[in-house]
């Protein structure tokens, strides 16, 4: 996929001559790689369509400020960061009840030993520690949900930017007598 994208970008810079080679070898056109269907309504040949698609791509990038190939890279990075942050937040909450119960029991036993009843102190300390551990676990789960929600918002923003780019790309193609749909 990266090779196709790199080839497509080279084609844009080279003025579209390599797109013909890509079309004859069965690779996607620039419009097809953007999930846009472009039909030449005025009988344009493949070379002309390749040149028009490259020109419309550049026009859409300039007018929207969005480069879909950069956007895809950023979206993949964001998705990876969201997954890592979610895993870290979930891992932070795992085993909190047991850990804090054990710490509470140790502290309670120490205080109970001083007061004369280590067993009761340990039991009370364990109960207090378990409650604290559950609270920490719930906080970690809430943080993980917040990270996931932020990731969803970023995904939606990326999808909206891509839609805006496709609208501009299609408008340009339609101005050049193509039927363009995304």
Q: What is the pLDDT of residues 35-90, one digit of tens each?
A: 999 999 999 999 999 999 999 999 999 999 999 999 999 989 988 888 887 787 77
Most confident of 101-115, 125-139, 152-166: 152-166
What is the rounded CA–CA span in Å between residue 165 and residue 170?
9
- pLDDT band at 108, cuts 50/70/90? low
Q: Which residue has the higher pLDDT, 141 or 132?
A: 141
pLDDT value for 164:
97
Question: In the predicted model, what is the mean pLDDT of the chain?
Answer: 77
Most confident of 27-31, 104-108, 147-151: 27-31
pLDDT value for 27:
77
Q: Model-level pTM?
A: 0.62
Nearest Cα residue to 73 out of 147, 9, 138:
9
Total number of residues shown for the chain: 182
Where in 4-159 does DSSP place strands (E)? Answer: 37-40
What is the rounded CA–CA span in Å between residue 122 and residue 110?
8
pLDDT value for 19:
41
Is residue 180 over pLDDT 90?
A: yes
Query: For the chain, which residues make up each domain, given as ranges?
Result: 2-68+169-181, 72-163
Q: Which residue has the tokens 């040149």?
A: 51
Least confident of 101-110, 114-123, 139-148: 101-110
């Amino acid at each position: 996929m990266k090779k196709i994208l790199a080839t497509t970008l080279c084609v844009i810079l080279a003025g579209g001559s390599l797109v013909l080679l890509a079309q004859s070898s069965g690779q996607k056109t620039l419009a097809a790689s953007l999930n846009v269907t472009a039909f030449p309504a005025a009988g344009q040949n493949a070379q002309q369509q390749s040149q028009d698609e490259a020109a419309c791509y550049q026009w859409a990038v300039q007018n929207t400020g969005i480069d879909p190939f950069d956007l895809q890279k950023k979206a993949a990075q964001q998705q990876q960061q969201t997954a890592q942050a979610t895993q870290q937040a979930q891992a932070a909450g795992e085993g909190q009840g047991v850990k804090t119960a054990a710490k509470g029991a140790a502290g309670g036993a120490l205080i109970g030993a001083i007061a004369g009843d280590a067993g009761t102190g340990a039991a009370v300390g364990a109960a207090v520690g378990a409650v604290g551990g559950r609270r920490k676990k719930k906080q970690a789960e809430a943080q993980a949900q917040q990270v996931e929600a932020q990731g969803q918002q970023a995904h939606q923003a990326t999808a909206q930017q891509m839609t805006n780019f496709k609208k501009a790309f299609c408008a340009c193609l339609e101005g050049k007598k193509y039927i363009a749909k995304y």
